[in-house]
């Protein structure tokens, strides 16, 4: 089959394209911005790329046009496809029908931690010799790629609640039909497409309805919203994790790197690992239980996690200059920002300073839906630098409770200069954004080195 993918350079669509090519399909695609690193990955897979969405691409005459969820009505190529009555389908639906059929799908859903948990799970299965396929919304450092077919029926997928396509406003994850499902957490996000938390809970309920009786749900016991979802109907056994009692629990210490798993009878295993934060310990517990459902002993899973190196852009050290370490993290929701800073704080202690550099870039953040929670999420940082270009709200006002610890900058060069002027040897500069942030990481390292 020849498929032509609209929006091919997105993380999901790019990963799906590589899976399709590996499965023997002819794959071409287009996007508004064709640039590395995704363009390099796609071209290495033998996938021809076109810049832009001109209607002339219909002359390629593929068997199917696959439409990414970033493509909206008014797009010239999409309009040509509709006008000419050409065959099209969403990315998640094509993936479900052509890649996931007859696979044992292990889905990882939740507002936070999907990418890290999916990478942990794939790594545990890999170390157990199960060679899973996967599609992850980031690049696991232990694999170097975000997607692969694998050599067994097992397939790990990051199950995203964002909508599917212009023609299908259900969440992507309803297409995946997992047999093992992690429900990590659930709170309000994606204010551009969901009216409130109840609307997201409904989509999660739709996902739960697709699981078989022989499946398994791994759910976070500390999330009332997930309890609401399962109370609406559940036909699948549930393992509750992150529990205080009557379930699976996890503890640990960021300074020592201890990770301890226990049940209501007490400790059942422990290891040392590289990650920090209570959120990552909860992610680990979920991944271990999901792997257990497909036959991996908890002891083997814990042993695997001792070597897990995480995912790019998850508290990733980008470099050190002038005695200052610069980190890159994907955190862009107040909850993720708070837990990321907390994890770093516990690792570096109270003596070292954390300089938080934030770009509120997601649609939800740009709308200002979360602005009243932002200052509290940054309270453990010693200094906060916010890039407030193109926001529809006053970032300085939203962060005013932080006093002179915060400053806002609409110019990237000014922000870099301000951070470099403030930083001193021993500091940790934590950059948080769900985008490229104008290459600010290297700019900061250059400025710190020049100082």
The answer, yes or no, to whether residue 15 has pLDDT greater than 80, is yes
pLDDT digit string (tens) for 308-348? 988 777 778 899 998 999 999 887 788 888 988 988 898 88
Q: Which of 69-73, 138-142, 163-167, 298-302 has the lowest mean pLDDT?
A: 138-142
CATH number listed for the domain at residues 316-450 = 3.90.190.20
How many Å apart are CA 92 and CA 100, to the nearest integer? Answer: 10
Q: What is the pLDDT of residue 245?
A: 67
pLDDT at 356 over 80: yes
pLDDT at 339 (0 to 100): 82
The structural domains of the chain, with segments of one domain joined by +, span: 2-91, 100-305, 316-450
70 has pLDDT over 80: yes
Q: What is the pLDDT of residue 252?
A: 87
The residue whose two tokens read 């110019």 is 411
pLDDT tens per residue, range 191-200: 677 778 899 9
Answer left, alpha or beta for residue 400, where phi above 0 means left and psi between -120 and 50 means alpha: alpha
Q: Give the chain's radius of gyration (CA, Å).
A: 22
State the CATH class of domain 100-305: alpha beta
**Which among 26, 23, 286, 60 has a CA at the least distance from the CA of 150?**
23
Tell me what pLDDT residue 191 has: 66
The residue-averaged pLDDT of 106-113 equals 92
SS3 per residue for 32-68: CCCCCCHHHHHHHCCCEEEECCCHHHHHHCCCEEEEC
Of 131, 106, 136, nearest in space to 119 by CA: 136
Q: How far apart are CA 332 and CA 432, in angstroms?
A: 7
Name 56's bridge partners: none
What CATH superfamily classification does 2-91 receive? NAD(P)-binding Rossmann-like Domain (3.40.50.720)
Other CB atoms within 10 Å distance of the CB of residue 21: 18
């Amino acid at each position: 089959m020849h498929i032509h993918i609209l929006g091919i350079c997105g993380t999901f669509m790019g990963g799906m394209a590589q899976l399709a090519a590996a499965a023997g399909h002819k794959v071409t695609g287009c996007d508004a911005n064709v640039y590395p690193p995704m363009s390099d990955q796609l071209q290495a897979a033998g996938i021809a790329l076109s810049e832009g969405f001109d209607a002339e691409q219909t002359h390629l005459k593929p068997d199917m046009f696959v439409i990414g969820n970033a493509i909206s009505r008014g797009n010239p190529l999409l309009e040509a496809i509709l006008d000419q009555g050409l065959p099209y389908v969403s990315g998640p639906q094509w993936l479900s029908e052509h890649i996931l059929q007859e696979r044992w799908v292990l889905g990882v859903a939740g507002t936070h931690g999907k990418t890290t948990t999916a990478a942990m799970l794939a790594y545990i299965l890999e170390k157990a010799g199960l060679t899973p396929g996967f599609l992850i919304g980031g690049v696991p450092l232990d694999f170097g790629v975000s997607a692969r077919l694998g050599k067994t029926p097992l397939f790990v997928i990051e199950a995203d609640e964002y909508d599917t396509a212009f023609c299908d406003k259900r969440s992507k994850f309803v297409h995946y039909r997992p047999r093992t499902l992690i429900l990590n957490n659930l709170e309000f996000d994606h204010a551009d497409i969901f009216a409130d938390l109840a609307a997201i809970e409904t989509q999660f309920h739709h996902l739960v309805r697709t699981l078989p009786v022989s499946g398994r749900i791994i759910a976070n016991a500390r999330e009332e919203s997930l309890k609401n979802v399962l109370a609406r109907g559940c036909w699948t056994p549930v393992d509750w994790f992150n529990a205080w009692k009557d379930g699976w629990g996890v503890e640990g210490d960021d300074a020592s790197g201890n990770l301890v798993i226990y049940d209501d009878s007490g400790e059942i295993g422990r290891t040392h690992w590289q990650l920090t934060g209570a959120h990552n310990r909860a992610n680990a517990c979920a991944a271990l239980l999901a792997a257990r459902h497909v036959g991996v002993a908890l002891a083997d899973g814990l042993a695997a996690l001792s070597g897990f190196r995480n995912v790019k852009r998850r508290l990733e050290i980008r470099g050190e200059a002038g005695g200052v370490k610069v980190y890159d993290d994907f955190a862009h929701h107040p909850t993720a920002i708070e837990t990321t800073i907390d994890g770093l704080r516990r690792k570096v202690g109270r003596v070292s300073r954390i300089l938080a550099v934030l770009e509120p870039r997601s649609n939800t953040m740009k709308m200002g839906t979360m602005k009243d929670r932002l200052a509290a999420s940054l309270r453990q940082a010693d200094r906060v630098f916010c890039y407030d270009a193109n926001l529809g709200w006053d970032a300085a006002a939203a962060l005013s409770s932080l006093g002179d610890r915060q400053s806002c900058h609409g110019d990237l060069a000014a922000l870099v200069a301000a951070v470099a002027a403030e930083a001193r040897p021993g500091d940790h500069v934590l950059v948080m954004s769900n985008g490229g942030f104008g290459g600010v990481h290297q700019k900061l390292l250059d400025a710190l080195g020049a100082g």
